Every structure is written in C-alpha cells, then in structure tokens.
A and B are shown apart, each in its own frame.
Chain A
Amino acid sequence: MHPLRRLYPELQIQCNTSEVEVEDIMVNMIIDGKNVTAKKGTMLLEAIRNAGISVPTLCVHEAVSRSGACRLCVVEIQKGSRTRIVTSCLYGVEEGLIVNTQSTRVLNVRRLVLELLLARCPESDVLQKMARDLGIEKEPRYTVDTDKGKCILCRSCVRVCEEVVGVSAIGLFSRGSYKKVGTPYNEPSDVCIGCGACVYVCPTGHIEMTSTGDKRKIWGRTFKMQACSKCGKHFAPIDQLKFISTKTGTTMEELSVCTECR
C-alpha cells in the first residue's frame, strides 16, 4: 500500500511522476558505460536507478509531482557531439542517449548544492549523512544560517498539500533567499486539516508536529483529535475526518474507527 494511503484510506492517491505518457516502446541508452533500456515516457532518474547506479535526490517524492528544485540529480548527457547538464528527474529517456552521472561538472554541481544546503541547514542530520556518503565536506567560507531551521525549500510539503490532500493550506511566499514555506500571512490556517502529510513527505524533518493526548499542534494551530470508537486511541484530527467525510460521503461514524480496528 502506498504510505500516504494509510493517512487517507478513502482517497485515491495519484502518484504523479511524469508529465509524459508512458508508452510500451523501449529505448536504449548508455549510462556510465552500461547498456540500459527503459520505457519511453519514463524519466532518466528511474532508468539510472534501475541500472543500479545511485543518484542523490532531496526534492523527489513518489507522492508528488516533480519540481527539479534541489538540483542534486543533475547528470551530463551527450547527444551527437553536444554535451549538457540536465535534471534527470524531469528529463525523459531517449534513444541513443549517453549519460554520465559522475562527470566533473556533475560532481561540482552536487558538491556545490550540498555545501550550500549544509550552510543553510547546519542542524540537518539528513544532509550531514548525505554529505558524508558522498565525501563532501562543509565549505568553511560560508557563514552558516541560524534562521532557516532544516527547511531546504524542496516544496514537497506544498505539493502534497495541494496535489494529494487538496487543501493548499501552505504555500511558498517571498522571493529568492527570502523564500519561505508557510500558511498565508503566517497565521493559523482555516483550511488546514492537521493531517500531517507535509510532515510525512518532508525529507529533512523540518516541519514540527506535536501530538499529546487529544491534541495535535501543527502550523500554529491546535487540532482536537478523534478518539477511536472501539479502542479509544486518539488517531486523527476531527477536522481531517470531517474533510474526508465531505469528500467521500463516508459518515463520521464510520470514520471514527481507527484503521487498526476497522
């Protein structure tokens, strides 16, 4: 089962990974010297990973559409005599493509991106581990930020809220280095249902959600939790269940039983 289904048992989760229709035609490529075949319409990133080659990513999440924001997945491709850097998570596979995932240019971009993110989010253990795995150290020339938390602005939270949950309680505001994720005007959101899907997709654990007893706190709002009518466990915000009820027509009574007791 898709992990988000557990949060939304009644909703259809659409996994949006490609804008192009997947066709039953296979294409041949050479990736890091290996011959690789892939289905036309799929993305280069999947072809590379299927070939057993690892590519780091932070903004790719199976539940949401891809933005190409983190730039870690870039690879160098060669078509004819022309080589260029492309975003493998968004670049469709092509017949005859020669792909290099370890070229100097690729490694320089990866190194830069991780150095920049380490300076932005010095507390992030996820970034530190990824940097260690890739042999990248923090760049001492940058003064580390103290006000960004662990948010790398991958926008997975914004997309899950819009595309999967369908409420758009959070969004991106401001521009450039002032860009932030949050609710409108940083005020508690009326449309947020407290579901925590944003917490679930966040790759660095930036978004804070605390659940104690019959209360859950997220994005500056406190939600009352529903107690399971069978086992009595507080399992979901009442607002979330009401939302699902309106969307699916399932009665609140039915929804008041937690997934384990159903």
Chain B
Amino acid sequence: MIENPDTQARQILDNLTLYYGPKKKFVAICAGTGCRASGSVQVKEAFEAEFKKQNMDVDVLATGCLGFCEKGPMVIIHPDKYFYEHVKVEDVPEIISKTIAKGEVISRLLYRHPDTQKALFREDDLPFYKKQHRVVFGRNGMIDPSRIEDYFAIDGYQALAKVLGEMTPDAVISEVKKAGLRGRGGGGFHAAVKWEGVRKAHGDPKYVIANGDEGDPGAYMDRSLMEGNPHSVIEGMIIGAYAVGAHEGYIYVRNEYPLAVEHLTMAIEAAREKGLLGKNILGTDFSFDIHINKGAGAFVCGESSALFASIEGRAGEPRAKYVHAVEKGLYDKPTVLNNVETWANVPLIINKGADWYASIGTEGSKGTKIFSLVGKINNTGLIEVPMGTTLYEIIYDMGGGIPNGRKFKAVQTGGPSGGCIPERLLDIPVDFDKLYDVGSMMGSGGMIVMDDTSCMVDVARYFLEFLKEESCGKCVPCREGIRRMSDILEDICAGHGREGDIDILERMGAAIADGSLCALGGSAPNPVLSTIRYFRDEYEAHIRDHRCPAGVCKALITYSINTEKCTGCGVCLKACAVNAITGEKKKAHIIDSEKCTRCGACIQSCKFNAIQVK
C-alpha cells in the first residue's frame, strides 16, 4: 500500500502515529445516538468501573454507531467479535467474568436467528451484517470517535500523507475520477467533475464544504458518520481541498445533531493540534482549515444555494443556479460542496486505489452506499451495501423482512421527495439510475418500508404535509402548489375526494416539478406521482367508494365487533373513552359507529382479535 515511504509528509505522520497500532483485546460498545438513548453510556461506564475494580487492562471503546440500532445497546468483545445485544448494566460483571476472563459465551445475550431461533455468536455471522460490505461505515466499530489516536490505528491520515507527499492535485482528481465516485447527497453528480471545475475556475479564495444537513425523516447515515468517524470526513475534505486548491472549508451540520457537533469539534481541534489542519499540513506548504457551521434545521438548507445563503448569514433560500457553484458558490467564489458520506469515501479511494473502488458497484454507480432502513422492518438500522444490491436483498436478507408476519407493500426511497416502489419492482438493483427510472431517487439513502397496514394515499399526504412546512416559500409552484396538493390529499383521506382529483394532482405534479426554482419543489410531487403510478386503485377506492383499503384513514373506516370472536369480557367497553361500546357481560358487544372516534384503544385492549376495521 505504501509505495514511497520516504516522503517528508509520511515521516511526520509516522512519528505522530508511531505508538498507535490496532488493538487486540477490547470491548466495543456502540455509543451512537440510538444506543445512547437505550443506555449504552451507562453500560460503558459499568465496564470501565469493573475493569478498574478487578485491575484488568482491557480497553473500553465507546464507538460510533454500529448500525444494528434495533438491538442496542450492543457490545462486541474483541478479538473474537462476540456480539451481545440489549446489554444492561447488570450484565457487565458476568460478561467480564465469563466471556472476557474465560472466553465463555453468555447464551441469553446472543442474537437469535428469527427463523431458526439458533443463537449466533459473532458479529459477522448475523444475517444483518453478513451481506453488507462495510468499507466506510464498518470502521465506526474500531474507534472511539473522540480519540484521534484510534483513527491513526486504522490507517487514519495515511491517505492524506500519500496525497501531500506523492501526488499532484491533478493526480488526486484523476484517481477520484477513475474510481467513479458519485455524490452521496442525492444528485449523484460525479465528485471529480466538480473538483476539476473548481480547480480550473478563476476566483480566490476557493472553498470546500461538507453538507451534513441531513433532513430526511428517518435518515441518519450522515449523522452516524459525523458522530462515529469524524476524522474520515475531515481527511476527505483536506484531500479535496488540496486537489482543488482551497484553504478554507466548512462543515454544515444540523444543530439538532449535538453529538455530531461535539465530535466534529473535538476532531478538528485534535487534527489542528497534530498539524493535520492549519498552516503547513504535515510539513508541506499546503494550508487548510475547517469551520463548523451549525444549521437551524431547515430542510431546504440541504440544497446547495440555500446552504451557501445560510452560511453567509442570510435566510436559507435557493437561487437559480445557471452559474454553477463550482464557479460561484459560497460568497460567489468557486466552491466544492459534497455530502458527508462522499467525503468519507475519499481516503479509502486514495488508500486502496481507484481500481479497487471501481470494482465495487454497478456500471454507472461505483462503491458502496449507506442506507437507513426504517419503518415496518424487523432489523431497523443502518446498512452499507455495494451499489447494485437489490431492494429484495436489503429488505429481506439484511432487513429481516416485515414484522408480525405482515405483507410488504412499498418502500419509499430518497427521503420525503422520493418515490414509493411497489413489491413487483423489488428485484431492481439499487443505484442512482435505476431508482430514477422507476420514479424514485437515491436521495441521501433513506428507506422507509411500508406493509399492508400503510395507506398509500395517507403516506403521500404525510410527505406533502412535511414538504409544505419545509418549502422555503420563495417560488410560487412550490409554496402554493405543494400546499394545494396537500389540501386535496387531506380531502381524499377525509372522504371528501372528488372525481377528477387524480387528474388534477397529476397535472399539478408535472407543472410543479417543471416550474419550481430548486430541487425541493422539483421533486416534491414524487410521493404523490409515484403512489398514483403504482397504487392508483387505492386513490380510486378513497374517492369513488369512500373506502380506505388499508384501514388507515379514519373518516373512511368503521369499527365493528366480530360476534363470533367476542367473549363479552367487557375490557374494550372500559377501554373506550367515548362510551361507544355497549353490551352485557358474556354476550357479544356492539360498537356505535356514530360515537366511535376510531382511536384504536379497543383493538389494543381486545385479547381475542374481535374488533374489525373495514
């Protein structure tokens, strides 16, 4: 890997990292935001206290997100990589006395295969991890993100030393071009083309920016990278800055991600201290520094020109981009804006080579992609797979399928303005182009799985409601159009749909997509257009028959009691807050649909599945 170990940059880095080799025996505890919420910090502290008490020299690593959020708090015992799920503070002494001291496995903490109930020992044996290819995200598990030394131990900043010591800026750009790296933020634009544009553009200073304004509901891959491996993003940015000739960079991160802000701040300070940021990086004449810019949580600020406006201190509103950001970006200067995940891929490309990188993925989409898998899915979490993995593999092999034996209905990809993909298209390989072809998009990698209890009209209504709130309000089609589409969807879900509503939604959708100023409005009709495309019958059922086939839209459903199943136990009668249920003891009860508010309390209370929704 190291071709020319004698450059000055390499020597300086070697001196910095001399004492940090990969650790052998250590306990890794996921301390991503999800696992923290379920108590992983307490588990970590319990490990530390117990090791101290027993005078044992075992390192405890509070790592970044490990992805399998469904099973948190997770503990992985290295070097055997035993995987324990839902670990509590009380389990800690036993893990130390049995697994760490004697190598014995504690059966009750192991993951069990959902089909066979067989216990699986190691992280790599779990079906969730087995088919993944975690080249970017997998490194989260090897480091404590608050320690730069841990990043050194996994070859951190080696790519930077290589670039500064041995490569010209043009060579860096051509390596990234050869790798075929496309932007992970949604557009899928070739990163090297942007870099080349900025390198050639006239204007000084030039800027590089990491877009960490991840705003899609349910998506958190960028968050987990910024929290879990901030140095990989920073190293990527320094390499990019060297390639384009920038000396100043920004990380735009949502203030709602406090841990990401904290870890990025620590990482930048540590990198400055080690001479990896600031003046004369690694003894070369290249200087570069990074500022953190906290966003206030407007979804539209993920759009490049709105993001620039926000950094400049103006309202986050997009502008027409006929002069590209590579020429006039931040402060009207040449600017490279790449997504967090894109930057994190850069050191890998330099370290392992463009050929290696390009060997992963499909013809047009290279490398891996991190997806967040949420909704009606067994294994909620973050996965990283080669581009071209099918939706089926993602949902069933890694995702473990749909909970409670329900039937898959659709998966929404690409965030709120993505589209809903039906079951018959599950075999499509996921890459930038294929998703676009079926009326959706890659977006930043959110996947929301829906089962047969999801009403597709209601789903479209939900996303349009979100987009209505998040439209910046600058241009007419987006500000007024999304609101009117949302009104019509509200009507349809409330049983006030009219004949012709589908046609008007389609007409509006096409014109809003064409007429909006930025990509938010340009893609906002997608949830409506894609659900009409694949689930038109559901819209028709709502409008013509005043029926919600999935039993979701309250105005269109009635609750009744199956007299054969009802035992007359009276539990539902007590659960009903509006006294809509009547009946004598031990005789079948009745629901008064006039009084019933369809709150669902009776369904939850009934042990005999006697409440029917139609």
B89 part of interface (Cβ distance < 8 Å): no
Q: Please give, as numbers and ranges, the residues of chain B lying within 8 Å of A178 by CB-CB distance.
A: 473
Q: State A91–B511 Cα separation when bound (angstroms).
A: 19
Q: State A178–B200 Cα separation when bound (angstroms).
A: 42
Chain A, range 131-166, C-beta contacts under 8 Å to B: 139, 141-143, 152-153, 155
User: Are A67 and B474 within 8 A (Cβ)?
Assistant: yes
Q: Mark B485-497, 1 if CB is under 8 A from A, else 0.
A: 0011000000000
User: Are B315 and A109 within 8 A (Cβ)?
Assistant: no
Q: Please give, as numbers and ranges, the residues of chain A lying within 8 Å of B479 by CB-CB distance.
A: 153, 176-177, 179
Q: Mark A161-194, 1 if CB is under 8 A from B, else 0.
A: 0000000000010111111000000000000000
Known contacts A68-B475, A71-B476; is A86 also within 8 Å of B322 by CB?
yes
- Find B507's partner among A74, A86, A108, A153 (CB 8 Å cutoff): A108
Q: Please give, as numbers and ranges, the residues of chain A lying within 8 Å of B508 by CB-CB distance.
A: 112
Range of interface residues on chain A? 35 or more
Q: State A153–B478 Cα separation when bound (angstroms).
A: 13
Chain B, range 489-515, C-beta contacts under 8 Å to A: 498, 500-501, 504, 507-508, 510-512, 514-515
Known contacts A85-B515, A141-B498; is A179 also within 8 Å of B473 by CB?
yes
Q: Please give, as numbers and ranges, the residues of chain A lying within 8 Å of B475 by CB-CB distance.
A: 68-71
Smallest Cβ distance from B425 to chain A, in angstroms?
Answer: 27
At the interface with chain B, which of A8-16, A115-123, A203-211? A115-123
At the interface with chain A, which of B174-182, B464-472, B538-546? B464-472
Inter-chain pairs besides A109-B514, A111-B511, A112-B515, 11 sampled, C-beta below 8 Å: A69-B474, A69-B476, A91-B320, A91-B322, A116-B480, A116-B484, A153-B473, A175-B471, A176-B468, A176-B473, A177-B471
Q: Please give, as numbers and ranges, the residues of chain A lying within 8 Å of B488 by CB-CB distance.
A: 141
Q: Mark B129-171, 1 if CB is under 8 A from A, else 0.
A: 0000000000000000000000000000000000000000000
B516 part of interface (Cβ distance < 8 Å): yes
Known contacts A90-B320, A116-B484; is A176 also within 8 Å of B514 by CB?
no
B415 part of interface (Cβ distance < 8 Å): no
Residues in A lying within 8 Å of B, measured CB to CB:
19-20, 67-71, 74, 85-87, 90-92, 105, 108-109, 111-113, 116-117, 119-120, 139, 141-143, 152-153, 155, 172, 174-179
Q: Please give, as numbers and ranges, the residues of chain A lying within 8 Å of B322 by CB-CB distance.
A: 86-87, 90-92
Q: State A175–B306 Cα separation when bound (angstroms).
A: 13
Smallest Cβ distance from A70 to chain B, in angstroms?
Answer: 6
Smallest Cβ distance from A122 to chain B, in angstroms?
Answer: 13
B326 part of interface (Cβ distance < 8 Å): no
Q: Please give, as numbers and ranges, the residues of chain B lying within 8 Å of A177 by CB-CB distance.
A: 468, 471, 473, 479-480, 483
User: Are A113 and B477 within 8 A (Cβ)?
Assistant: yes
Q: State A168–B487 Cα separation when bound (angstroms).
A: 35
A112 (CB) vs chain B CBs: closest residue: B511
B381 part of interface (Cβ distance < 8 Å): no
B467 (CB) vs chain A CBs: closest residue: A176
Q: Please give, as numbers and ranges, the residues of chain A lying within 8 Å of B474 by CB-CB distance.
A: 67, 69, 153, 155, 179
B483 (CB) vs chain A CBs: closest residue: A177
15 CB contacts below 8 A, A to B, read A67-B319, A74-B515, A87-B320, A105-B511, A109-B511, A119-B480, A139-B504, A141-B484, A141-B504, A142-B487, A153-B473, A153-B479, A174-B473, A176-B473, A178-B473
Known contacts A69-B474, A112-B481, A142-B484; is A74 also within 8 Å of B504 by CB?
no
Q: Please give, as numbers and ranges, the residues of chain B lying within 8 Å of A112 by CB-CB distance.
A: 477, 481, 507-508, 511-512, 515
- Find B514's partner among A68, A85, A143, A175 (CB 8 Å cutoff): A85
User: Are A71 and B498 within 8 A (Cβ)?
Assistant: no
Q: Please give, as numbers and ranges, the residues of chain A lying within 8 Å of B511 by CB-CB distance.
A: 105, 108-109, 111-112
Q: Please give, as numbers and ranges, the residues of chain A lying within 8 Å of B471 by CB-CB distance.
A: 175-177
Range of interface residues on chain B? 35 or more
B486 (CB) vs chain A CBs: closest residue: A177
User: Are B476 and A175 within 8 A (Cβ)?
Assistant: no
Q: State A79–B587 Cα separation when bound (angstroms).
A: 76
Smallest Cβ distance from B63 to chain A, in angstroms?
Answer: 37
User: Are A175 and B320 within 8 A (Cβ)?
Assistant: no
- Find A109's partner among B323, B468, B515 (CB 8 Å cutoff): B515
Q: Please give, as numbers and ranges, the residues of chain B lying within 8 Å of A86 by CB-CB distance.
A: 322
Smallest Cβ distance from B577 to chain A, in angstroms?
Answer: 32
Q: State A92–B481 Cα separation when bound (angstroms).
A: 27
Smallest Cβ distance from A76 to chain B, in angstroms?
Answer: 9
- Find B510's partner among A91, A92, A108 (CB 8 Å cutoff): A108
Smallest Cβ distance from B524 to chain A, in angstroms?
Answer: 11
Smallest Cβ distance from A130 to chain B, in angstroms?
Answer: 13
Known contacts A69-B517, A85-B515; is A176 also within 8 Å of B472 by CB?
yes
Q: State A142–B323 Cα separation when bound (angstroms).
A: 36
B611 part of interface (Cβ distance < 8 Å): no
Smallest Cβ distance from A64 to chain B, in angstroms?
Answer: 14
Q: Please give, as numbers and ranges, the residues of chain B lying within 8 Å of A85 by CB-CB distance.
A: 514-515
A68 (CB) vs chain B CBs: closest residue: B320
User: Are B315 and A113 within 8 A (Cβ)?
Assistant: no
Q: State A19–B472 Cα separation when bound (angstroms).
A: 23
User: Are A116 and B477 within 8 A (Cβ)?
Assistant: yes
B398 part of interface (Cβ distance < 8 Å): no
Q: Please give, as numbers and ranges, the residues of chain B lying within 8 Å of A179 by CB-CB distance.
A: 472-474, 479
User: Are B473 and A71 within 8 A (Cβ)?
Assistant: no
B298 part of interface (Cβ distance < 8 Å): yes
Counting chain A CB atoms within 10 Å of each CB, the highest count among B482, B483, B500, B516 belongs to B483
Q: State A111–B486 Cα separation when bound (angstroms).
A: 19
- Find B487's partner among A87, A120, A143, A172 (CB 8 Å cutoff): A143
- Find A87's partner among B300, B512, B517 (CB 8 Å cutoff): B517
- Find A74's partner among B470, B472, B480, B514 (CB 8 Å cutoff): B514
Q: Please give, as numbers and ranges, the residues of chain A lying within 8 Å of B498 by CB-CB distance.
A: 141
B488 (CB) vs chain A CBs: closest residue: A141
Q: Please give, as numbers and ranges, the residues of chain B lying within 8 Å of A92 by CB-CB distance.
A: 322
User: Are A175 and B515 within 8 A (Cβ)?
Assistant: no
Q: State A27–B576 Cα separation when bound (angstroms).
A: 75
- Find B480's partner among A120, A141, A175 (CB 8 Å cutoff): A120
Q: Please give, as numbers and ranges, the residues of chain A lying within 8 Å of B507 by CB-CB distance.
A: 108, 112
Q: State A176–B322 Cα separation when bound (angstroms).
A: 23
Q: State A136–B472 Cα separation when bound (angstroms).
A: 27
Q: Please give, as numbers and ranges, the residues of chain B lying within 8 Å of A176 by CB-CB distance.
A: 468-473, 479, 482-483
Smallest Cβ distance from A40 to chain B, in angstroms?
Answer: 14
Smallest Cβ distance from B605 to chain A, in angstroms?
Answer: 39
Q: Please give, as numbers and ranges, the residues of chain B lying within 8 Å of A68 by CB-CB distance.
A: 319-320, 475, 517
